[in-house]
Amino acid sequence: MASAYTPGPVTPAEGVIGRTRELELLRAAVAAGRDLLLEGPPGTSKTTMLRAITAEWGVPLMFVEGNADLTPAKLVGHHSPERVLREGYQNENFIDGPLTAAMRQGGFLYIEELNRSPQDTLNTLLSAIGERRLTIPRVGTVTAEPTFRLVASMNPFDNVGTMRISMSIRDRLCRLAVGYQDEDFEREIVARHAGGSGAGAVSRYDRLVADAVALARATRTHPELRHGSSVRGAIDTVMVARQLGRTRGVAIDLNGAVRHPPPTYRALLLDAAMVTLSGRIQLDPAAGCTPEQVLHDIWESYFLGLAAAAGGENEAAIESPLRRPRQPTAPVRRAPKVLSEPPRLYVPTASGHAGGLTLRTNGPVPKPGGSRDDRTGAGPSEEEAAVAPIPETAHDPEVLRRAHEITSRLSLARRRGPEPRRAGRGTLRSVPFDGGADEIDLDATLDTLLAVADPRPEDVMVRARTVHPRAVALLVDISGSMRGERVRTAAAAVGALAGVMEDDQLAVIAFWSDAALLLALGERVEPGQLMETLLRLPARGLTNVGFPLELAKQELAGARAPHPRAVLLSDCVHNAGSHPVPLAGALGRLDVLVDVSGEHDLDMARDLARAGRGRSFPIRTHRDVAPALDAVFAD
């Protein structure tokens, strides 16, 4: 095994195509004794580069899959329970985990999807990558060999099931961004893996390879896709198309000189792409189409472009149920109105008329005869904390019935206190075995067994994660554009979320150009009462999305939950106040439920969700609320 690494001239590595610069940087980093984070989408040769470098260095490469089940013991190692019961704790019955093994052997530890690993597990890496030492209880200190390196990967475009990486970890890692290769290099990769074997195999299928690569690359820039396909999709497309060609008797060994491929070839390629690419692409949550429709659009546009470039007739389009009309252009985004006064926050009074619907402002109340945009209701004075009744509307019994119906259908799991679970966020704790966990807490189990004469399964203690209470701020748009069915949808969201968070912390803010704090974080209220309060507030004024985001940050600052978050329900047609996107970035996480049943701004919804490290979901009717909230809290 090599004790040091001195890179020579940059030479191509076996199996690596089009990565000269990245290989040079990666070699330089590991030669300098640095640990590294490779950040890029799947299928960009990250693992291939590592295999090449460890092969030329002559050291082992050990893989770990980052996920919520990765515990410190699985990474570091553990004592064999049966041997401890016979022999006691000894170094000989300690089973090395991949981190310990890589340090002892001087190998590379490669953690895929680092940002899917729990924070307490990543903390075990700090001393290993900072001091090259790892202290293990009852084992001692393991000192890493000089060639030990930690290399991790992360997909920056995927935020489903991911967790934040602390600055203490990031500060100890260098970072190399790895993007997709150029089209020519991708063709070479596909030809090598799927173009056949033997002399002339590459040129025989060069047209099929070029078409497959072009389709896969087009998925990465399509406006209705959040994630496109990697080069693996193009490889599979060629392989499936070749087999499909043999089955149908269609010639697919066309060379690049063929300017007008026959319809049978085009149809075959479309079918192959449906099989190989539809599962690799991810629709934008606000897209109003299916993966098959997107792929049909890409296929059609590609062959139309080829026909136009070749000067031929427009033959690419075929009759297909997947064809869909072009989407209308997005509404023009108007410049937000500059408010002449700061927005006001209203809170419920302890005693008000009409069932407590009089709201108290925490700022000046305008005199009678307020502004034309109906920013707030008229009030009798301008003193701080003056009472200002907001005009109310009668609640609709059908709306209440519908909201209660959605509450009952919502599938968010109730969590009463800290219950063990196998995966996800939370804190590792020792709990009695319940048939679900697979990692024994040996110390705690031995203590229990010594105290009982007849051990039972529940006397075995296991390591499991316990979830923390959730803290959520729900921001509901009741501006003038949110009328009719939209208000009913908002009421359903409030009632549904309040009904399943009785053991958590929930804040509810209704907003227009001002805002009303209907429920402060941590307060208790019946869901029905909260829904009725919201329904009695009339749709009013302009839409100031920024103000409730500021209020949500203030409310969530006092949350006892470790990962507070906000959920925005709005059409996102922001037309008053300061720009909301920077404010979204100040929240722990922001998910957006964008009402698309009328005028709406999808681009603003996506920008807000992206800035808030969350997701956006289209809401057309009240029936979309429950699935969207399920998806929000599944992450």
Amino acid 379: pLDDT: 37
Amino acid 378: pLDDT: 35
Reduce the secondary structure of 161-215 to three states and give it as a string.
CCCCCCHHHHCCCEEEECCCCCHHHHHHHHHHHHCCCCCCHHHHCHHHHHHHHHH
Question: pLDDT over 70 for what percent of the chain?
Answer: 66
Quickly tell me which residue has 């001002």 as its tokens. Answer: 514
Task: Report how far residue 209's alpha carbon sits from residue 189's, in angstroms, rounded to the nearest whole number.
Answer: 10
Instruction: Indicate if the pLDDT at residue 319 is higher than 70.
Output: no
Residue ranges of the chain assigned to CATH 1.10.8: 183-310
Digit-coded pLDDT (tens) for 447-466: 776 666 666 766 677 776 66
Please, are residues 37 and 175 in contact by the beta-carbon 8 Å criterion? Answer: yes
Amino acid 108: pLDDT: 96
* φ and ψ of 458, to 5 deg: -70, -10
DSSP states of 555-571 as a string? HHTT--SSS-EEEEEE-
Amino acid 597: pLDDT: 81
Task: Report how far residue 247's alpha carbon sits from residue 502's, in angstroms, rounded to the nearest whole number.
Answer: 59
Quickly tell me which residue has 């659009």 as its tokens. Answer: 297
Instruction: Indicate if the pLDDT at residue 2 is higher than 50.
Output: no
For the chain, how big is the Rg over CA atoms in Å? 30
The pTM of the full predicted model, rounded to 2 decimals, is 0.59
What are the percentages of helix, strand and coil residues in the chain, rounded to 5? Answer: 40, 15, 45
Amino acid 486: pLDDT: 66
First to last CA, the chain: 43
CB atoms within 10 A of CB 330: 11
Amino acid 109: pLDDT: 95
CB atoms within 10 A of CB 409: 12
Task: Report how far residue 533's alpha carbon sits from residue 354's, in angstroms, rounded to the nearest whole number.
Answer: 10
* φ and ψ of 567, to 5 deg: -125, 125
Task: Report how far residue 76's alpha carbon sits from residue 614's, in angstroms, rounded to the nearest whole number.
Answer: 32
316: amino acid identity, one letter: A
Query: What mean pLDDT is predicted for residues 583-610?
Result: 90
Please, are residues 486 and 598 in contact by the beta-carbon 8 Å criterion? Answer: yes
CATH architecture observed for domain 20-177: 3-Layer(aba) Sandwich (3.40)
Amino acid 173: pLDDT: 93
Please, are residues 403 and 496 in contact by the beta-carbon 8 Å criterion? Answer: yes
Digit-coded pLDDT (tens) for 582-594: 999 889 899 999 9
Which two three-digit tokens encode residue 164? 């934040």
Residue ranges of the chain assigned to CATH 3.40.50.410: 345-409+469-634
CB atoms within 10 A of CB 235: 24
Task: Report how far residue 359's alpha carbon sits from residue 346's, in angstroms, rounded to the nearest whole number.
Answer: 6
Amino acid 360: pLDDT: 61
Task: Report how far residue 206's alpha carbon sits from residue 252's, in angstroms, rounded to the nearest whole number.
Answer: 10
Q: Spelled out in words, what is the top-level CATH class assigned to the domain 345-409+469-634?
A: alpha beta
Instruction: Indicate if the pLDDT at residue 633 is higher than 70.
Output: yes
Among the CATH numbers 1.10.10, 1.20.1440, 1.10.3470, 1.10.8, which is that of 183-310?
1.10.8
Burial class (CB in 10 A: 0-12, 13-18, 19+), 228: buried
* φ and ψ of 133, to 5 deg: -135, 150
In 410-454, at which residue ranges do the beta strands (DSSP E only) sit? 420-421, 427-432
Asked whether the CA dihedral 20, 205, 41, 426 is positive or negative, the reply is negative
Instruction: Indicate if the pLDDT at residue 363 is higher than 50.
Output: yes
Which two three-digit tokens encode residue 28? 């330089």
Q: Give how far Cα 220 sits from Cα of 45, 146, 283, Å.
A: 17, 40, 11
Amino acid 175: pLDDT: 93
Residue ranges of the chain assigned to CATH 3.40.50.300: 20-177
| pLDDT classification of 37: cutoffs 50, 70, 90 | very high
Which two three-digit tokens encode residue 116? 């899917």
